[in-house]
Structure 1
Amino acid sequence: MLHYKRILLKLSGEALAGEDGYGINSAMLERYAEEIKEAREMGAQIALVIGGGNIFRGMSEAAANMDRVQADYMGMLATVINALAFQDALERKGVFTRLQTAIKMEQMAEPFIRRRAVRHLEKGRVVIFGAGTGNPYFTTDTAASLRAIEIEADIIVKGTRVQGVYDSDPEKNSHAEFFADISYQDVIRKNLRVMDMTAITLCSENTLPIVVMNMNEKGNLSRLLRGEKVGSLVHG
């Protein structure tokens, strides 16, 4: 019996870069695809949003002198590149997928249509959402929250390189405090870097819980789906 039936998994673009720091690390891509395959075989319905920071980020130093709207559109295209790579990795493992984008790209993806996305999930396909919300000034965190609400996901799973939510970066501060259970309000009040504030507010207003966990630890996603305590739970 699954504890969460329908989930939206949010991964950063940097996660795909692995130790390379840039681009797509094939070993990381394979590892994440295997985790998703295992979760899918358990019967979970899985949607996926991937950032684009491993290729281009609208708020990065590289975009400092660019028009913000233009830079954000470039960032959206970066998420589509990652989404295509992830789709290929999953389908090579025998997982049926659909890629839907917020910006029309008919030759490579379906346009985002909520009812169609839900139907794909019900048929057992992993649905990958690319191009963020399709609008500048919004992050892929916000896109993940929005899509999760639209498809009526049970939870957002934010996959990171650390165990969950801390009061500071545990990779830089060995004394960082870990929060196993925390409210939306405390995340906002303490200005914790779980997701951006627009995304947190969306989740709070729609009572959509968030689990932040280490996606690099093998089997974590499957354990979460079985109801085991993994990572940090953000809720009302």
Structure 2
Amino acid sequence: MGQSHSTSQQRPRAELLYDLVSIGNVVAIKALWREGTSLEWIDREGRTPLILACMNPELIHVAKTLIELGAHVNAYRPGAHAGTPLHHAVKEGLGQSVKLLLSHGANTLVRNDDFQTPLDVARVKGCANVVRALEKHVCYFSGWFREFYGPSFLEALAPKLLSGTIWVVVIPFGPSDSTRPLKMELIIYRTLQDVRPRSVIALWKVKIEKPDFHQKEPALTIVDQFTKTRYKLTSTIEGDKQQLQRLHNACLGIPQI
């Protein structure tokens, strides 16, 4: 007992708590916390106890404990290998840790020193389940759509031949700010297994044409006047105007109810 007392005299208790995280000693972590020990000690690489716990799948019970004790879920640490606990969990491809952090208010829109959000990191990492979990948490809309390609006069003749199914997601670009309108992005994937989008459309830079809901099969048309690219999307279920309306609302920054 005397030895552990002298050890705690030589080193800050917060550093001791940090070391207890790596060996998963929850009982000792709680004991130090009850004595008023900080949960936010930083090691040389800028990691807090929670960041450390979120980098190892075997320490998810420790991460849970630290969050329950009040560890800062969005604590940001600068530097080349830094970011928030969410950035680190994503970088390691740890789906359970990502879901834990999201359920406790982790901010998905924070950018690290490389200007990457956790979602950007997940796409680089190539972890489809983490990409989907982050998108599901932050998106205003996601779902399957049919996209028309080729000249518009041919669409009426061969709609099935000149269209393909895509997965679309609408997410905010950057944090919400009451003084400015929300910027939205439309992200297109070929399949649900893809981590890298086929297209990312900055919706504040394009012309969004409202669907004509009087038509039998209305479509949402988005025109990028700079690149002259035209996207024309319709529901996968013929005449499903409700889904199209929800997509149109999301593109305008109106969240689903």
Q: TM-score range by the shorter chain?
A: under 0.3
**Superposition TM-score, scaled by structure 1 size:** 0.24
**Superposition TM-score, scaled by structure 2 size:** 0.23
Instruction: Determine which structure has greater relative contact order: mean sequence separation of CA pairs < 8 Å that are 6+ residues apart, divided by chain length.
Output: 1
Task: Name the larger-Rg structure.
Answer: 2
